[in-house]
Amino acid sequence: MKKLTKFWLSLIIVVMAFVIVGCDSSNNGNNGNNGNNGNNGDNGNDNDGVPCSTDMNQEKCYDPETWDWELNRSEFDGKQMEIKIMVGLAYEYDPFDKKYTGTRQTERQEWHTRVEAAYNIKIKYEEYPTEASWGPSRIQWITEAHTGGIPNRGEIYLIDTNWISTFIKAGAISELYNSRTKKGFFADFNYTQDKVYMDMTSIQGKTYGYLLGEARPDFYLYYNQDLIDSLNLPDPATLWNEGKWDWTAFTSLLATAKTKLPEGSYPMGGVAADVIQGLVAARGGKFVDQGLKKVLLSNPTVVKAVEDLQEVYKLYWDKEQLHSDVGGNFISGKTLFASGSLWFLKSNMRFGPAEFKISAVPFPTETGDAAAKANFKIPVGFSAGYAIKPLENGPNGLNSKIIFNILDDLMRGLKPEVKATEGSADERYRIWLKQRIDSEESIEALMSVQNSKYYHLELLQTVSMTVGNGSHFK
């Protein structure tokens, strides 16, 4: 229990530090226009001469044939200067990379080139260097670019939204919008950000992160589908779809797996601090009360979930795994379950090297709630997003507002792939899942919890990252 004990001791420190974080649940920009500065058009009717870049709420903006977008409203001339977008793996983002894994490659290449021409710039996706691999080292690398005035470290940063509060302490990223004054880059360029994403990226009424699209949960349990099949174990996703995936079913599966797995293999792995968050939410509980600015360690639901997880840890857990190890024996096929995120599935830094099929399932409900799911929730609290370098008067007059305009044009200006119809967002998301998960049962299970009624904004990860300066494990 040493590892779990360390986790809970760290949470006691978090309690004292939470007031410093000061997350504000009202920071969603939802003042009737979500940062669109009141310019919402005619609720679906087209405004003559008004491009989609000014008013997205027009019928023409849902159709690739009638889509229009005004580039470079900043009227910036970059004189062929380079704008760097710092990312983890270039081939996941750069449409010109030979190993590009994204969609619509040709269209994205053409749009990328058009944006470059409009601003007279060159846009380059560049990977973070090895000394900025992740977490604290990457935060330090980005922060030093600002505090130390180190050049050539990029203008746009792909970050974890959990890091935002740490960056703000050093003034290392730019404010994008102020939900209290209704001013900022979002208002200037008529951008609406998803409410959940606004909550993730805002502190004390100010927003610092840019994320497109709708927030989607990915806080699931991930499991070795090949092991489930070969050992003739009940499939977790099938149990979920049948309304039978509760705590009793989960622990029963672990017990059966333990009798069938070979020596040196384990039913359960993953990061305990992640698993407990999913488990608490699945029972309708939460760790952080935003209004009271407290971490609820004594909440009865939290206490019972911890007791249950301790028992699972004692009986079934892979104790060879370090508490900060996100892959470990799961990748090598030695554990049945692991914690993680959907982006792990295709990432060479996470689950990508695994040579078996991986499926996902929501965390088990409390015993007896599997069918009704009356208390079930999914934690939504962090994601990858873009941040902007704080800059007032750079080369050729470049500043943070212009950098945001470039990013927004590049990301949001690409016309829709198909004409939007009712339900098409979920249909596209299902296709996206199929590119990552083979099991139809697993995909169906995940699609069943896409209703926002299941979402629960959990800020424990953000608080922990803030206290640890970019790490949960300090």
Residue 391, pLDDT score:
98
Cα–Cα distance list, 321 to 269, 271, 281, 340, 423 (Å): 8, 9, 24, 14, 42
Q: Give the CA count within 13 Å in the CB-facing half-sphere of 419.
A: 6
**What's the rounded mean pLDDT across residues 71-87?**
99
Is the separation of the CB atoms in 29 and 36 below 8 Å? no
| Domains of the chain, CATH where assigned | 24-215+383-420 (3.40.190.10), 217-379+435-459 (3.40.190.10)
d(C-alpha 277, C-alpha 305), whole Å: 9
Residue 151 sits at the vertex; the CA angle it makes with 148 and 152, to the nearest 5 degrees, is: 140
Residue 22, pLDDT score:
34
Q: Within 10 Å of residue 47's Cβ, how many Cβ atoms?
A: 14
Residue 183, pLDDT score:
98
d(C-alpha 159, C-alpha 161), whole Å: 6
At 343, the pLDDT band (50, 70, 90 cuts) reads confident
Of residues 465 and 35, the one with the higher pLDDT is: 465
Query: DSSP string spanning 34-49?
Result: TTSTT--TBTBBPPTT
**What's the rounded mean pLDDT across residues 421-437?**
85
**What's the rounded mean pLDDT across residues 233-257?**
99
d(C-alpha 45, C-alpha 196), whole Å: 27
pLDDT digits (tens, 9 = 90+) for 257-298: 999 999 999 999 998 988 999 999 999 998 876 655 667 677
| Helix or strand run (H / E) with residue 229 | helix 225-230
Q: What amino acid is encoded at 158 in this protein?
A: L
Locate 186 and state its tokens. Answer: 């979002």
Q: Which residues of 318-357 are buried (b: 16+ CB within 10 A; e: fewer)?
A: beebeeebbbbbbbeebbbbbbbbbbbbebeebbeebeeb
**What's the rounded mean pLDDT across residues 387-400?**
98
Of residues 25 and 343, the one with the higher pLDDT is: 343
Residue 212, pLDDT score:
95
Residue 355, pLDDT score:
93
Q: What amino acid is encoded at 182 in this protein?
A: K
Residue 23, pLDDT score:
35
Locate 140 and state its tokens. Answer: 């330090």
At 419, the pLDDT band (50, 70, 90 cuts) reads confident
Comparing 198-212, 264-278, 320-334, 341-355, which segment has the lowest mean pLDDT? 320-334
Residue 194 has pLDDT above 90, yes or no: yes
What are the residues whose beta carbons fall under 8 Å from the beta carbon of 453, sequence distance 6 or more? none
Is the separation of the CB atoms in 217 and 382 below 8 Å? no
pLDDT digits (tens, 9 = 90+) for 347-388: 877 898 899 999 999 999 999 999 999 999 998 877 899 999
d(C-alpha 238, C-alpha 245), whole Å: 8
Percent of the chain with pLDDT over 90: 68
Residue 292, pLDDT score:
52
Residue 35, pLDDT score:
37
- Going by C-alpha positions, the residue among 204, 191, 219, 376 that lies closest to residue 282 is 376
**What average pLDDT is seen over the chain?**
86
Comparing 361-370, 387-396, 460-469, which segment has the lowest mean pLDDT? 460-469
At 468, the pLDDT band (50, 70, 90 cuts) reads low
Is the separation of the CB atoms in 210 and 352 below 8 Å? no
Q: Within 10 Å of residue 256's Cβ, how many Cβ atoms?
A: 15
Locate 474 and state its tokens. Answer: 């300090």
Of residues 465 and 199, the one with the higher pLDDT is: 199
pLDDT digits (tens, 9 = 90+) for 108-161: 999 999 999 999 999 999 999 999 988 899 999 999 999 999 999 999 999 999
**What's the rounded mean pLDDT across residues 442-448?**
98
At 190, the pLDDT band (50, 70, 90 cuts) reads very high
**What's the rounded mean pLDDT across residues 412-434?**
86
What are the residues whose beta carbons fall under 8 Å from the beta carbon of 135, sequence distance 6 or more? 470, 471
Residue 375, pLDDT score:
96
d(C-alpha 296, C-alpha 143), whole Å: 32
- Burial tier of 248 (Cβ tally within 10 Å: 0-12, 13-18, 19+): middle
Comparing 73-77, 245-249, 421-425, 459-463, which segment has the lowest mean pLDDT? 459-463
Is the separation of the CB atoms in 190 and 413 below 8 Å? no
pLDDT digits (tens, 9 = 90+) for 19-65: 333 333 333 333 333 333 333 334 446 677 899 999 999 999 999 99
- Going by C-alpha positions, the residue among 427, 111, 426, 464 that lies closest to residue 276 is 464
